[in-house]
Amino acid sequence: MNAITASQIYLGRQPILDRNQNLFAYELLFRNSARNAARIPDSSTATATVIANAFSEISIGDALGDCRGFINVEVEFLFSDMLLLLPPSSVVLEILETVPMTADVMARCRELKEKGFVLAMDDFLEITSEHQELVSLVDYIKVNTQRPTPDELERLVKRLRPLGKALVAEKVDSKARMEQCMALDFDYFQGYHFARPTVIAGKKANHSQLALMRLMSLLLSDAETSELEAAFKPEPVLTVNLLRMTNSAGAGTTVRITSLRHAITILGRRQLQRWLQLLLFASGTHSGTTSPLLHLAATRGRLMELLAGAQKKGNISYADGAFMVGIMSLMPALMGMPIEEIVAPLGITSEVRDALCQGSGALGSLLKLIAATESDAPEETESALQECHGLDAGTLNQCQAQALAWANSINREAEH
């Protein structure tokens, strides 16, 4: 990759969910720095190269799996030939509200549509005569739900619904706004209410019978501890329950759990097998779908593990602690409990506890970095990256791609 893509790109992502809160797509947020892209010479080529390389060199396309990636398109990038390097089947091109509706722009949009690209209108607030032609070409209209009043939003949706376009409510940042948008019959939803740990508070997550049977099979075949550890990692809730179970079994000791491997060793294989058998019989039916928040928790864990490995090569305990912080960071939403209550009985190390409860230490800095990349917050991302010694933007991008691909492969396995 060139100097721009190697050292200045950032990859953020935010889930887009359907009405059943199943993962539908990601908005991919590409950045070259915290500064406005217009300050960088030839910004359109830089942006196009970043996105093209992301799909071809670090396999973001593979990481998306069956989900599409929504990508913001400014006017310079709209006319870049590099846009045509993107796979039409994997992306949705969001035409930003700042793009002028000129004859050339409309001709380009028609050309892209003919080439198989799916288009969306971004940050839509009102229907104007200059947007009529673009409205006829797009499949999705993304509506900014923060700026209109509730009455204005209702009137806007009533005008948009007859157009037959899929409506995406963006900037959904609270339960109240989510309920309003559901009542207005939006098709898809995006915002901090979903990406941050509030959406599924109080709900119990079921263990996957497939995961339990896979672990039982590994135990019965006398698999190596490393194989058991790898099977636990895609199951965040199961992992936390393992830690709780392990600490309970070792009550009265002063041993602090440092990793999944450590927990498996302390509990012992016989006890682990009995516990898994109990869960298997009690698990009931499994819907076959993965909670977006569970998917995000597993991805966080893997991403933190990869970044920790890049920071401190060969330090396995540090990488293990990073994984635990990543998956446990979303447990308040998944388990309906404050993080302090979840952490208290687990017997985890002080480094992991402090990162989760206080955001402190090297692991706390990594968690802040990941949280920033999941939001459209380039300045926070750059600031957090500077606190993570030994990491740069290129490493962050590569690790994100690997983590997404890993989490997506786990989902694919679960579906078969």
> Has residue 118 got a pLDDT over 90?
yes
Q: What is the average pLDDT value for the chain, to the nearest integer?
A: 76
CATH code for the domain defined by 3-195: 3.20.20.450
What 3-state DSSP class applies to 223? coil
pLDDT digits (tens, 9 = 90+) for 363-386: 999 999 998 887 767 788 889 999
What's the predicted TM-score (pTM) here? 0.59
As given in the structure block, the two tokens for residue 239 are 């992992």
Q: What is the pLDDT of residue 361?
A: 95
> Has residue 82 got a pLDDT over 60?
yes
Q: What is the pLDDT of residue 61?
A: 56
Q: What is the pLDDT of residue 304?
A: 94
Q: What is the pLDDT of residue 8?
A: 41
> Has residue 172 got a pLDDT over 70?
yes
Q: What is the pLDDT of residue 2?
A: 38
Q: Are residues 6 and 51 in contact, defined by beta-carbon separation less than 8 angstroms?
A: no
**How open is the CA angle 314-315-319, to the nearest 5 degrees?**
115
User: Taking the domains of the chain in order of start, what are their residue ranges?
Assistant: 3-195, 199-416
Among the listed residues 390, 368, 412, the one whose alpha carbon sits nearest the alpha carbon of residue 312: 390
> Has residue 25 got a pLDDT over 50?
yes
More confident residue, 408 or 228: 228
Q: Are residues 91 and 82 in contact, defined by beta-carbon separation less than 8 angstroms?
A: no
Q: What is the pLDDT of residue 15?
A: 83
Q: What is the pLDDT of residue 65?
A: 65
SS (H, E, C) 226-276: HHHHHHHCCCHHHHHHHHHHHHHHCCCCCCCECCHHHHHHHHCHHHHHHHH
Q: Report the range of poorest mean pLDDT among 209-218, 294-303, 391-400.
A: 209-218
CATH code for the domain defined by 199-416: 1.10.3210.10
> Has residue 282 got a pLDDT over 60?
no
Q: How far apart are CA 348 and CA 394, in angstroms?
A: 31
